[in-house]
Amino acid sequence: MNISRSETDAASRREYWAPLLELSAQEVFGLMLGEHLEAAAEPAPENTLDVTSMVELAGSLCGLLTLRCSSNSAALMATKMLGADGAGAKSQMEDAVGEVCNMVAGNFKNKISGIGEGCKLSVPTVITGSNYSLCALANDYTMSINLLFHGSHIVISLQLN
Amino acid sequence: MENITVLIVDDSSVMRKIVERSLRQAGLEIGRVLEASNGLEALAVLNQQKVNLVLCDINMPAMDGLEFVKQLPSVENAKGVPVVMITTEGSESHVVQALSAGARGYIRKPFTADQVKEHILPVLAGNL
Ligand SMILES: [Mg+2]
């Protein structure tokens, strides 16, 4: 979905970024996995989010977009993306989550008018395990959305410096 | 066009499978699918094999899709082979760079099988 010109000023304002990030995720899950994400009423239990994918943003928007979920959700994403070719999807879960994170980041950047144009994305990095802490050194803006994919939490965060 | 050979270039193997499935859903009769995970690998494949169509991501390690399109004319086997970008990079500057470097089409991820059909069929028919 593209944003009309009358909405472009609004799209460049940060208070609109959470719904735009959610829309970006919904479009990726809808088109590439055939799935709808639900809003989560409760915060995600931290120890269940053992797969983290991250894409760095550089240029006019500088920071990190992360997508965290459980390894079961990651494997399910691979299965949904591979469809009938889904045999062995578990071994592809890092690849699938990395590409989903990449598409959410790209789709989000394409929706925030003016700023996205000068922003570059890195290739995704995927970490498995939950025993780590992530520290952005010059962090001046953080936003997270918490969604449910087949009843399991997916947390997508944007940290900007 | 029947039994075409397609080269799909993307650093995600899951995405390469999705692109292949979308091509089949578009009704293309695909004989062979070759895969590469970055631009350098794709150039190596094209030095060895003739293909009818290349679908190429932009953000990849080793050599990105824009650099690959720029280097493509140096490959004898690949002369006249259409390249369509399939990428998360949706900015106007990326589209302009890709098309002016010789890409014949541009599909943004996430995409539908219909969008793939819409962009690929005219390219294969030689209309773009
Ligand atoms: Mg890529």
pLDDT at A90: 76
Number of domains comprising chain A: 1
- Tell me which chain A residues have a C-beta less than 8 angstroms from the C-beta of B18: 32, 81-82
Q: Which letter does DSSP use for residue B123 in this model?
A: H
B124 contacts B54 by C-beta, under 8 angstroms: no
> Is residue A65's pLDDT more than 80?
yes
The residue range of the domain holding A39 is 5-160
Burial class (CB in 10 A: 0-12, 13-18, 19+), B125: exposed
Chain B contact for A110 (CB, 8 A cutoff): yes
**Bridge partners, A65 (sequence order):** A55, A158
Q: Rounding to the nearest 10 degrees, give the CA dihedral for residues A100, B9, B114, A18.
A: 20
- Calculate how far, in angstroms, residue B60's C-alpha sits from the geometric centre of ligand 1: 5
pLDDT given at position A18: 92
- From CA B30, how far away is CA B48, in angstroms rounded? 19
Write down all domains in chain B, each with its CATH number in brackets.
4-125 (3.40.50.2300)
CB-CB under 8 Å, A122 with B59? yes
| Cα-to-centroid distance, B59 and ligand 1 (Å) | 4
CA distance A102 to chain B (A): 7
Minimum distance, in Å, between the CA of residue B50 and any CA atom of chain A: 26
Q: What is the pLDDT of residues A69-108, one digit of tens each?
A: 999 999 999 999 998 666 677 789 999 999 999 999 999 9
ipTM, 2 dp:
0.91
B4, two tokens:
């075409």
Cβ–Cβ contact B24 with A under 8 A: no
Distance, CA A41 to ligand 1 centroid (Å)? Answer: 33
Question: How many angstroms is it from A42 CA to the middle of ligand 1?
Answer: 33
- Whether the pLDDT of residue A3 is over 90: the answer is no
Higher pLDDT, A36 or A7: A36
**Coil/strand/helix, residue A67:** strand
Q: What string of H, E and C letters represents the secondary structure of B12-47?
A: CHHHHHHHHHHHHHCCCCEEEEEEECCHHHHHHHHH
Mean pLDDT of A56-79: 93
Which of B8, B10, B11, B14 to probe by mutation at the A interface, max A CB count within 10 Å? B14
What distance in Å separates the CA atoms of residue B23 and residue A135, rounded to the nearest whole number?
42
Report chain A's mean pLDDT, rounded to a whole number: 87
The confidence score (pLDDT) of residue A2 equals: 52
Q: Cβ A123–B110 below 8 Å, yes or no?
A: no
In terms of pLDDT, which residue wins out, A46 or A125? A125
Q: Which of A59-63, A102-106, A141-145 is most confident?
A: A102-106
Residue A102 identity (one-letter amino acid): N
- Secondary structure letter of residue A15 according to DSSP: G
A2, A123, A125: best mutation site toward chain B, by most B Cβ within 10 Å?
A: A123
> Which residues of chain B have a CB within 8 Å of the CB of A118?
91
Whether the CB-CB separation of B14 and A96 falls below 8 Å is answered with yes
Facing residues of A159 across strands?
A: A64, A142
Residues A77, A82, A83, A85, Cα dihedral to 10°? -140
- Contact of B5 with chain A, judged by CB distance below 8 Å, is answered with no
Comparing alpha-carbon positions, the chain A residue that sits nearest to B60 is A123
Give the β-pairing of A63-69 and A152-160.
Answer: antiparallel
Tell me which residues of chain B have a pLDDT lower than 70.
Answer: 1, 127-128
Residue A4: per-residue pLDDT = 53
Whole-angstrom distance, CA of residue A147 vs CA of residue A39: 5
Ligand 1 is a single-atom ion; what residues have CB below 5 A from it? B 11, 57, 59
Q: What is the structure's pLDDT at B8?
A: 98
B52 vs chain A: nearest CA distance in angstroms? 24
Q: Which residue from A minimizes the CA distance to B92?
A: A117
Residue A117: closest CA among B91, B71, B119: B91
Q: What contacts B103, CB < 8 A, 6 or more positions away?
A: B56, B69, B83, B84, B85
Residue A116: CATH number of its domain: 3.40.1550.10
Nearest to A53, CA basis, from A133, A146, A124: A124
What pLDDT, on the 0 to 100 scale, is given for residue A32?
A: 95
**What per-residue confidence (pLDDT) applies to A153?**
96
